[in-house]
Structure 1
Amino acid sequence: MDLVGQLAPDFTLPASTGQAVTLSSYRGHHHVVLVFYPLDFSPVCSMQLPEYSGRQDDFADAGAVVLGVNRDSVHAHKAWAAEYGIEVPLLADMKLDVARMYGVAIDDRAISGRAVFVIDRSGVVRFQHVEEKTGDYTVRPEAVLAKLRAL
């Protein structure tokens, strides 16, 4: 499913920050980087999300916010964020509804795939990358920042 050039599917999900996050609330203000990942506390995810979190200032300088999304609960997100120092909001897509809207749900494993979507200020998907395997992590923060700076 290629969403590039289309309006990003809107959603509202509970977040590790304690509030619900609605994607469309960023329209007109910020670019959004959606980072779908399979599981909190898993080895690759425990490298990926801290890397994105550690570059928050760079993303802010590029006019973007980063949102992590997976099927774990807000409680698990909070514990994982505290243990790994993750400061970006982690959104709880417990039924994989949002992952399905973005074409990254792996229903037979009850997880989302690893994927990155860059959504511009007008709410349009400008870049997407879905990893072939959940253990792959090829699109690093620097590559996403380059896409943002080119918008």
Structure 2
Amino acid sequence: MSLLGQPAPDFTLPASTGETVTLSSYRGQKHVVLVFYPLDFSPVCSMQLPEYSGRQDDFADAGAVVLGINRDSIHAHKAWAAEYGIEVPLLADMTLAVARQYGVAIDERNISGRAVFLIDRGGVVRYEHIEATTGDYTVRPEVVLGKLKELR
């Protein structure tokens, strides 16, 4: 199931930053980079999310916001963000409902797969990449930044 060229499924989830984030609230204002990842404190995720967070100024310059999302709780997100210096909002999709909407839920393991979706200001999915396994991390921030430049 590809969402490419489709309106991004809307959602509202609690964030590690203390607010509630609604995807459609960015419509008309910012591009959104949704980064689905399996688990806080896991080795590959602990490389991936700090890399995206470290480039958030570059994403902001490109008119985008980065949102991390997985099934861990807000409490786990806050602890992980504090330990690894992650500044992007981490959203708690504890029932995997949003992961299912995006086709990345791995229900038998109760986690989401690793995936990146780029949603333009109009709310349309313009790029998607779902890793073959949860241990893969091939779409680095510079790849997504390149895709953002193509949207201009």
Q: SS where residue 118 of structure 1 aligns?
A: strand
Give TM-score scaled by structure 1 length: 1.00
Q: SS where residue 69 of structure 2 aligns?
A: strand
Give the residue type in structure 2 aligned to 1:139. V
Deviation at 1:85, TM superposition (A): 0.1
**Unaligned stretches of 5+ residues in structure 1:** none
Deviation at 1:93, TM superposition (A): 0.1
Deviation at 1:129, TM superposition (A): 0.1
Residue aligning to 1:35: 35
**Unaligned stretches of 5+ residues in structure 2:** none
Residue aligning to 2:132: 132
Deviation at 1:69, TM superposition (A): 0.3
How far apart, CA to CA, are the structure 1 residues paired with 2:134 and 2:57?
A: 27
Residue aligning to 1:143: 143
Q: SS where residue 150 of structure 1 aligns?
A: helix
Please state if 1:12 is matched with 2:12. Answer: yes
Please state if 1:87 is matched with 2:105. Answer: no
Q: SS where residue 75 of structure 1 aligns?
A: helix
Residue aligning to 2:48: 48
Deviation at 1:36, TM superposition (A): 0.0
Deviation at 1:58, TM superposition (A): 0.2
Residue aligning to 2:64: 64
How far apart, CA to CA, are the structure 2 residues paired with 1:49 and 1:25?
A: 23
Q: SS where residue 50 of structure 2 aligns?
A: helix
Deviation at 1:43, TM superposition (A): 0.1
- 1:67-111 Cα offsets, whole Å, 9 max, x none, are 000000000000000000000000000000000000000000000
Residue aligning to 1:97: 97
How far apart, CA to CA, are the structure 2 residues paired with 1:9 and 1:65?
A: 17
Give TM-score scaled by structure 2 length: 0.99
Q: SS where residue 126 of structure 2 aligns?
A: strand
Ranges of 4+ aligned residues in structure 1 off by more than 4 Å: none
Q: SS where residue 33 of structure 2 aligns?
A: strand
Deviation at 1:39, TM superposition (A): 0.1
Residue aligning to 1:21: 21
